[in-house]
A and B are shown apart, each in its own frame.
Chain A
C-alpha cells in the first residue's frame, strides 16, 4: 500500500535561513511525488513534481526537492526563507498503477519569523 509521512507538523525558521520540510513515502513501485503549498484561505498550488526523471527537482519560488530512493524520502528545501513562504505544505504520492488517486501527507505548517 502507498503512504506518505510528513515528519513535522510545524516548522519555524527565521527569515533568511534555510527551510527543510521532510517527507517519507512508502511505495512498492516508483511513484510520482508532488509538493503542494496552501497559503491561508487559499486553494492548493503545485510547487514541484517528481516523475522519475532527474532526482533533484526545482520548483517555483526557489524551492527544490531531492528524490532519494534509498531513503524513500522527498524532502523540500529552500536556501533562504521569505516571509511570504509562511503556509502549509503537503507532500503527495501518486501510485503508478494507473490511478489518479492522490495520497496526501498530513501537512507541515511553516512559520517564518522576522
Chain B
C-alpha cells in the first residue's frame, strides 16, 4: 500500500531533550515536506526537500533540522525542544510539483 509512515504517533518529552521524528514513504517520491498544525493557524511548512541531499526552509524552520540522505526517508530533528514546539506534525510526499501530497497520519508532540 502506498503510504507515508511517521513515527512515533504520540510523544511527550522534556525541554531540551533531543528528539527525532521519522518519516518514510514507499512511493519513490522526490518531494517531501514537514508541516506543523496548530489551532487556528492551519498547516505551516517547516522544511521541504526536492530530492536527496536537497533541502530548504519553509515558513517556520526555527528550532528544527532535517536531512535527506535517502529518497524514502526525511526525518525531522528537534535538537533542543521547547514548549512552543508542542504541536501536531505531518510529513508529506509528492511525485511532482503542483501534484497532490500524500500525508502521514501525524505525530502529536508535547514538550513540557
A residues neighboring B (CB under 8 Å): 9, 32, 34, 41-46, 49, 51, 90, 94, 96, 98-102, 104-107
Contact B42–A43 (Cβ < 8 Å): no
State whether B48 touches A42 (Cβ < 8 A). Answer: no
How far is B42's CA from A113's CA once the two chains are assembled, in angstroms? 24
Asked if B74 lies at the interface with its beta carbon under 8 angstroms from chain A, I say no
Question: What residues of chain B lie closer than 8 Å to A42, measured between beta carbons?
Answer: 105-106
Q: Is the CB of B104 within 8 A of A43?
A: yes
**In the complex, B58 has a CB within 8 A of chain A:** yes
Interface majority SS (helix, strand, loop, mixed), chain A: loop
Among B42, B48, B58, contact of A107 (Cβ-Cβ < 8 Å): B42
Docked pose: A99 CA to B103 CA in angstroms: 18
| Min distance, Cβ B109 to any Cβ of chain A, angstroms | 15
> Which residues of the other chain, B, contact A106 by a CB distance below 8 angstroms?
40-42
Please state if A43 and B105 are interface contacts (CB–CB under 8 Å). yes
Asked if B31 contacts A100 (CB within 8 A), the reply is yes
Are the CB atoms of A49 and B100 closer together than 8 Å?
A: yes
The reply to whether the CB of B55 lies closer than 8 angstroms to some CB of chain A is no
B4 to chain A, nearest CB (A): 8
Given contacts A90-B43, A100-B48, contact A43 B100 (CB under 8 A): no
Decide if A100 touches B98 in the complex (CB within 8 Å).
Answer: yes
Residues of B with C-beta under 8 A to A44: 43, 90, 92, 101, 103
Quick one: which of B41, B45, B97 contacts A98, CB cutoff 8 A? B97
Contact check, A104 vs B48: say whether CB atoms are below 8 A apart. Answer: no
Most buried by B among A41, A51, A105: A41
Assembly CA distance A99 to B50 (angstroms): 10
Q: How far is the CB of A53 from chain B (nearest CB, A)?
A: 13
Instruction: Pick the most buried of A41, A96, A102: most chain B CB atoms within 10 A of its CB.
Output: A102
